[in-house]
Amino acid sequence: MMTTLPDETLLLDDVDDTARLRAAARFVREHDSAALLPLLLPGLDGPDLRALAAHCRFAHAGLLLFPPDADGLRSQLADCGLAVDTPSHPSVVVRERLARRHRRDPAELDVQILRPHVHGSIGERRAVEVFALIVPPYSDLEPIAAHERTRRHEAHLAFEIERPEPLVLRGLCAILSRHGARPDGGGYNPHEDGTVLYFTLPADAACDYQRLELYARGDHRDTLAAHLDHAELHHRPGHDARQCAETLLHLLTGAWTTQALAAFARLGLPDAMDTRTAHRTEDLARLTGTHPRGLATLLRYLVMLGVVTPGSVPAPALSPASDPAPAPEPAGFRLTELGALLRADAPGSMRPLALMYGGPFYRSFDGLDHAVRTGRPAFDHLFGENHFDHFAGDPELAALFDQSMAASSRMFLPLPDHPVITAAAQAPADATVVDVAGGNGELLRRILTAHPRLRGVLLERPHVVEAARRLLDAAGCGVRCDYRTGDFADVPPDADVYVLSRVLHDWDDDRCREILRHCVRAMPAHADLLVVERLLPVDGSPSLATAWDLHMLCNVGGRERRADHYARLFADAGLQLVGHRPLPLDAHVLHARRAGAPDPATGRS
């Protein structure tokens, strides 16, 4: 297997740390408490939002870096426009968390905290909280750095409690838990006399940070003890047979959730509702052609999911002859921001995903036992043909599938800033990016929009190419893009960057090697290949990749893979893996070059 040289790996990791630090500083400058809280806790509104916003001030974004030495840390701070002379002190909480996670002696982990200041959009004083663990080249701490860079356990957003009275602090913790934030540890730091309470954010939080911190000045160890008890209770398996039975029952009824969301979308209810005004069930039933009682039952269930919320509808005005006694306000339902993602016209609408997961993909899981027994897709067994042929024979279904792929485009957000793309955009001569099987062109649109000097080529099936042409033309990028219809054997030659996004996981290893060899034949010696996929975790920790691995087995016969598995496939095709970095939604971008090609940064092969 081809591997990256150690010094190249260190260089890549240093660049990755600097990029994450720069992104954190930008995030802190651009967001404020009132707008940020509903993004972190979808469905948060009304009195709960007002209570949190009144007591919690957005203070900082935190991340863990692994500089090779103190000078390396100062260099990273300077590169991001942050003060290099920021004082530091030991981090008790993060040191203990790292020690537990990696089974190390805390004394081996000298984690320091620095808080270089930045200013918010209207001049508010904030900070980027940097946890720094020095990892010299070739030290035995390198596995810790590699794991933490991938999983980003310590990346968090922090809110400081303005008046941390015990009752207020407990009330805020209760609000966070009620809206899906899960207690996840904390501690008291005597060096600064401050108490930290960590929470894991809900899976549908609309940001790349997975954790939230409440910071209260002073010693609040009574509140902390209750918080840690909640965290332990959540993580302790089998502590209560009744709770285990309830948990299993919730898992078994997960299919109801999928179908409730799909029915909500199919019936056009999100499009008939509003996030500002509540609607009577009877009015919604008339608008959507549904039965009032059946609709009320569905909406009550969706309230539990946070997709809609109960609301009051103003009572109709009384006529002079009416009974003057006021009638009770009729109950109604209002769409939440989470539910608004299922509107057909919503930016980044997830309606196509709901229709796919509640439609053909849902039906295919009825044959999961067949896929597990035989290793062959349940989709083929149930529908009589493979996933791609079945969709190709139904233009409406094929269009829905392409739209569902675009609905997960949030994972593409950091890709235009990838060093390979940036280097191509800054090259003296105009460079070309080829998106192989690029779907509706959403990724290529983002890259070309961010870099006006780049040109693009999209290779896809004929009907998909036309949809991509419309999208890119509407974005003003069409004049810089060429369109090719064909298969993987038709990868156009002589470009500078090639992209395979969510392609290889559709296929078995032999077909992946074939696809990669087509790319290698087209790639000139200097070209780079970027592969976007979810990576299975090496430590078995929870991951969307593990869920999608089951989905691929059931539906297309493909699979998700670990990074080292992709490295072997690359090597078999004449490529070498240079490195990989995380993307939103548990995705990664893997960077590969032709084996033996010189590294532009070092000039070495």
Please name which of 19, 189, 183 lies closest in space to residue 94, comparing C-alpha atoms: 189
**One-letter amino acid identity for 320?**
P
* C-alpha span between 583 and 410 (Å, rounded): 9
Please state the separation of Cα 447 from the chain's center in Å: 19
Strand-strand pairing, 88-90 and 111-114: antiparallel
Other CB atoms within 10 Å distance of the CB of residue 58: 21
- Cβ proximity of 13 and 145 under 8 Å: yes
Residues 6+ apart with CB under 8 A from 26: none
Long-range contacts of 10-13 (CB under 8 A, 24+ apart): 10/68, 10/137, 11/601, 11/602, 12/578, 12/579, 13/66, 13/145, 13/146, 13/149, 13/579
Where do the H-state alpha helices sit in 152-209?
166-178
Point out which residues pair with 63 in neighbouring strands: 130
Residue owning tokens 């010189």:
598
Q: Coil, strand or helix: which one is 475?
A: coil
* C-alpha span between 242 and 230 (Å, rounded): 17
Please name which of 194, 159, 126 lies closest in space to residue 58, comparing C-alpha atoms: 159
* C-alpha span between 170 and 220 (Å, rounded): 10
Where does 235-338 show beta strands of DSSP type E? Answer: 279-280, 308-312, 331-335
Other CB atoms within 10 Å distance of the CB of residue 376: 13
- Cβ proximity of 111 and 98 under 8 Å: yes
Strand-strand pairing, 194-200 and 156-161: unpaired
Residue owning tokens 């400058």:
29
Strand-strand pairing, 331-335 and 432-436: unpaired
DSSP 223-254: HHHHHHHHHHHHH-TTS-HHHHHHHHHHHHTH
- Cβ proximity of 290 and 263 under 8 Å: no
Q: Coil, strand or helix: which one is 86?
A: coil
- Active-site positions read 505
Q: Coil, strand or helix: which one is 185?
A: strand
* C-alpha span between 152 and 149 (Å, rounded): 5
Taken as a whole, the chain contains a residue count of 605
Q: Which two tokens stand for residue 415?
A: 């890709």
